[in-house]
Amino acid sequence: MSAHKVYQMVEVLKTEELGEVKKYLESTFFNTNRRCVQLYEQLCKFHPNMEGDKLTKERLYAKVFGKVPYDDGKMRKLMTQLSQLIERYLVIKQLDKSEDVTAKLLIKSLGDRNDYELFKTAAEGRINFLEKQPLRGKDYYRETHLLNEMLYYHPETEKLTKGNDYLRRAVQSFEQYFTLLSLQNAADIMVRNRLVGTEIPIQYLEAINTVAIEAGFTGEVTIKFSYQLLQLYLGLEAVDLEALKSLAFLAFGKMSKYEQSFAISSLRNYATPKLNVGSLPHAKFVFELFKFEIQNELLILGQNYLNSATYMNIVTTGLLVNEIEWVRQFIKDYSLLLSPDERDVATNICSGFWHYSNGILNDDLGEFYTSLQSYNLVPTRIGVKYELRVRPAILRSHFEIFKRGKEPIDELLQHVRNFERHIIANDFYAEPTKKQYLIFLKYFKKLSKLYVNPNLKPAIVNQYLILLESEQSIIFKRWLKENGKELLNQSKPLAI
């Protein structure tokens, strides 16, 4: 497909919108250039993929202008005009969908005209409407600040009267907005610094930690929750997961869907590292957050498709907390929400996860072979999004086959060496991520060798578990511990 913007603008239109856009373009209120309508009609023939040998500027020009010699500048100008018209259509469409945006624009428009009372009535009416709504997130504080500020600074407002409370309310809403925004951004920066290895400073950290617990802020549940979340990242308070969940769900009721999604992501970013080192309570906590997203239709918020990484995270977390049947149904039902380009890859990976977990649950050797068959359907060198999911999964399935005496240790360790080379050679992995996986592989090799140690003693396994427990930067810690503890109960080592 050509990179010209107008092709992309037509591509993003939904099939059911094509006729509506044509009517919009035919309206002389919005468009007086008939050539735009003709160009649009020709482009619609290539919708939705906007591909084909006939999709060239020269062919389109001939369809629109007839036998007039091709003029590239003229064609580009027409394409740009049509692109701008479609952009305007999308804006109008958004206005029709959002009463909030329409109300804001109307108030601003009235504020620029010469009827102060009409403007004042509209602005105060909007404030009263907002105050009756349950939402108390960033959007609420920001809008009430702007509305009170517009009322206070309007040239016809009597500012020096006791009855005028616009400035106080504007300042209060701004302080609440700034505090909430700073708390949320600080938590996000801390996550990014940890995961990506950046060192972004948090300029207002001490100030917002002080302000957020002052009177006037503690009663605002979204601020209270965001403050609590930041304390978790700072490690300043002991965590009661049930209390945190109760506060979070209470705060969610005061947030827009987009803010809920952000808050859930922040909670998950806090809990996932603890899940990764083997905390089952944190795994259950993350799983309940995923279920909340599903129940409240947040999974594809603002997107056309379900993110494949989210899909796989839900599956792995559900399996970790032994929701085997729930996960099986989820894989089937929600694969349809994935992008067609990623559906087969993500579904095959998750199918492999499920068969592995079912094999563990039922001690079924055949399920481990079935899991490998699913992984083998995933193309090699699939990219960073999938590599760190598939390769460890393949290792764990091979390990279970090895444990049962059906695969030699040399073959198992060769898979480990291949994974190590992959991690070391690829710079697109952040250094903290590389470290986590390389330490996992080190302990994986130790565990495998313990299984074939002819002189294995409980003390050796205990030493392995003690060393493992001391590791902070490691992935799949719980899995390694479980297999190490299982080895303690072996009557004799595996001989291959």
Q: Does residue 153 belong to any structural domain of this protein?
A: yes
Percent of the chain scoring above 90 in pLDDT: 71
At 164-208, the pLDDT tens digits run 899 999 999 999 999 999 999 998 898 888 777 788 999 888 898
Q: Does residue 124 belong to any structural domain of this protein?
A: no
Q: Does residue 294 belong to any structural domain of this protein?
A: no
At 427-453, the pLDDT tens digits run 888 888 899 999 999 999 999 999 999
* Domain shared by 271 and 314, yes or no: no
- What pLDDT is recorded for position 3? 60
From 375, 407, 439, the end of a domain falls on 407
Buried b (16+ CB within 10 A) or exposed e, 41-67: ebbbebeeebeeeebeeeebbeebbee
Q: Which residue range(s) make up the domain with 461?
A: 411-496
pTM: 0.75
pLDDT beyond 60 at 495: no
At 233-271, the pLDDT tens digits run 888 667 789 999 999 999 999 999 999 998 999 999 889
* Domain shared by 348 and 435, yes or no: no
* Domain shared by 77 and 190, yes or no: no
- What pLDDT is recorded for position 381? 76
Number of domains in the chain: 4
Q: Does residue 73 belong to any structural domain of this protein?
A: yes
Nearest to 289 by CA among 305, 272, 304: 272
At 338-380, the pLDDT tens digits run 999 899 999 999 999 999 999 999 999 999 999 999 999 998 7
* Domain shared by 330 and 238, yes or no: no
From 381, 407, 433, the end of a domain falls on 407
- What pLDDT is recorded for position 192? 85
Q: Which two tokens stand for residue 94?
A: 């958004």
Helix (H) or strand (E) holding 129: helix 116-132
Mean pLDDT of the chain: 91
At 155-165, the pLDDT tens digits run 999 988 877 89
Distance CA 408, CA 422 (A): 22
Average pLDDT of the residues in 221-228: 94
- What pLDDT is recorded for position 98? 82
* Domain shared by 265 and 159, yes or no: yes
**Which burial class, exposed, middle or buried, applies to 208 when counting CB atoms under 10 A from its CB (0-12, 13-18, 19+)?**
buried
Distance CA 122, CA 282 (A): 48
Distance CA 355, CA 376 (A): 13
